[in-house]
Chain A
């Protein structure tokens, strides 16, 4: 199963920007929380998860062809 994972802001460093998202091969179904953990992305660095332009949470189990975008929280002013 293949999914595409892209990120905004500092998350681009982990998965590439949304327009050049990283393609990931998943041998078995698993939650986004597990996928992000394996990639070394801390939970706290992901504010918003958008799957095919719909808001999801870390418990979501990606499906074939999903395009996933990760948005980090930013506190600067």
Chain B
């Protein structure tokens, strides 16, 4: 792959980074990232991943833009209220990088479509707003062998963990089954600080860049817990569970299934 002078100028600040270089940019230029959810996490991740010269971004979200989304879902704006989020985000992404290949899915992630949708991507980011989707993404990525950067946010805090199937603990190693409906509040019930969602989304984007380029150490076998009020980032060690139903020695989950539970709201 040969880069033009203009191309190298555009991405020069990354290319100049130690251990990134032209080789790193080549990896970025060949990489395809899938983002589930164009909400608070997805907005931050998309805004920073769209302009870096990726080959392709895929995005799924079935929601439309609402006025209460705008403080944190910064890929959308006042003119997009009522539009599908993928349409709104797609327009902004095209402004950030007109040559980026874009696949937009205005549907819900379900067992019936997830494996087919994610199979062509190198990295998946979880920006969904409900446990059913988070478990579905975990199971689908482990089964498909695709790295997943999981995250969740609530009030002033957030969590991130990177899952490399077969090499690190998955979401079910940490929390085997979803909590019962109503046990944990959602953002619409308990609130979410817009910058907390943004910080966590950017940590996900950073993990994606590291996964693609091979730079640094990943958030594997650890859960990063961020608290905006104390402004503390804590890494809690986790380990693969040999009895994990999806990535353990004798897995019982061998294909994806939709969880029957009450969906959270973003």
Report the nearest B residue to A69, measured CB to CB. Answer: B236
Does A75 touch B at the CB level, under 8 Å? yes
Report the nearest B residue to A53, measured CB to CB. Answer: B237
Give the distance to chain B from A58, nearest Cβ to Cβ, in Å: 11
Report the nearest A residue to B236, measured CB to CB. Answer: A50
Residues of B within 8 A of A65 (CB): none
Overall SS of chain A's interface: mixed
Please, how many angstroms separate the alpha-carbon atoms of A72 and B227 in the complex? 13
Q: Which residues of A contact B (CB under 8 A)?
A: 8-10, 17-19, 42, 44-45, 47-48, 50, 53-55, 69, 71-77
Residues of A within 8 A of B4 (CB): none
Contact status B236-A75, CB under 8 Å: no
| Choice from A18, A42, A45, A48 contacting B223 with Cβ under 8 Å | A48
Overall SS of chain B's interface: mixed
Contact status B234-A76, CB under 8 Å: no
Please, how many angstroms separate the alpha-carbon atoms of A76 and B26 in the complex? 34
> Given contacts A8-B225, A44-B179, is CB(A77)–CB(B128) below 8 Å?
yes
> Given contacts A17-B230, A19-B230, is CB(A77)–CB(B179) below 8 Å?
no
Please, how many angstroms separate the alpha-carbon atoms of A48 and B158 in the complex? 14
Interface residue range, chain B:
35 or more
| Choice from A18, A48, A69 contacting B175 with Cβ under 8 Å | A48
Residues of A within 8 A of B185 (CB): 10
Contact status B237-A50, CB under 8 Å: yes
| Choice from B134, B184, B232 contacting A44 with Cβ under 8 Å | B184
> Given contacts A77-B41, A77-B129, is CB(A44)–CB(B227) below 8 Å?
no
Give the distance to chain A from B67, nearest Cβ to Cβ, in Å: 18
Other 10 A-B pairs with CB < 8 A, given A8-B157, A72-B184, A77-B129:
A10-B184, A45-B179, A55-B174, A69-B236, A73-B178, A73-B179, A74-B153, A75-B129, A75-B152, A75-B154
Please, how many angstroms separate the alpha-carbon atoms of A17 and B180 in the complex? 24
Contact status A74-B152, CB under 8 Å: yes
Which stretch in B10-18, B76-84, B186-194, B211-219 binds the other chain?
B186-194
Please, how many angstroms separate the alpha-carbon atoms of A18 and B190 in the complex? 21
Does B53 touch A at the CB level, under 8 Å? no
For this complex, 8 residue pairs linking A to B, each with C-beta atoms less than 8 Å apart, are A10-B190, A44-B179, A47-B179, A73-B152, A74-B154, A76-B153, A76-B264, A77-B41
Please, how many angstroms separate the alpha-carbon atoms of A47 and B180 in the complex? 12
Residues 143-157 of B, flagged 1 when their CB comes within 8 A of A and 0 if not, give 000000001111101
> Given contacts A48-B236, A50-B236, A55-B239, is CB(A73)–CB(B175) below 8 Å?
yes
Residues 134-171 of B, flagged 1 when their CB comes within 8 A of A and 0 if not, give 10000000000000000111110111000000000000
Residues 200-233 of B, flagged 1 when their CB comes within 8 A of A and 0 if not, give 0000000000000000000000010101001010
Residues 99-142 of B, flagged 1 when their CB comes within 8 A of A and 0 if not, give 00000000000000000000000000011111100100000000
Contact status B237-A77, CB under 8 Å: no
Please, how many angstroms separate the alpha-carbon atoms of A69 and B39 in the complex? 29
Please, how many angstroms separate the alpha-carbon atoms of A72 and B151 in the complex? 13
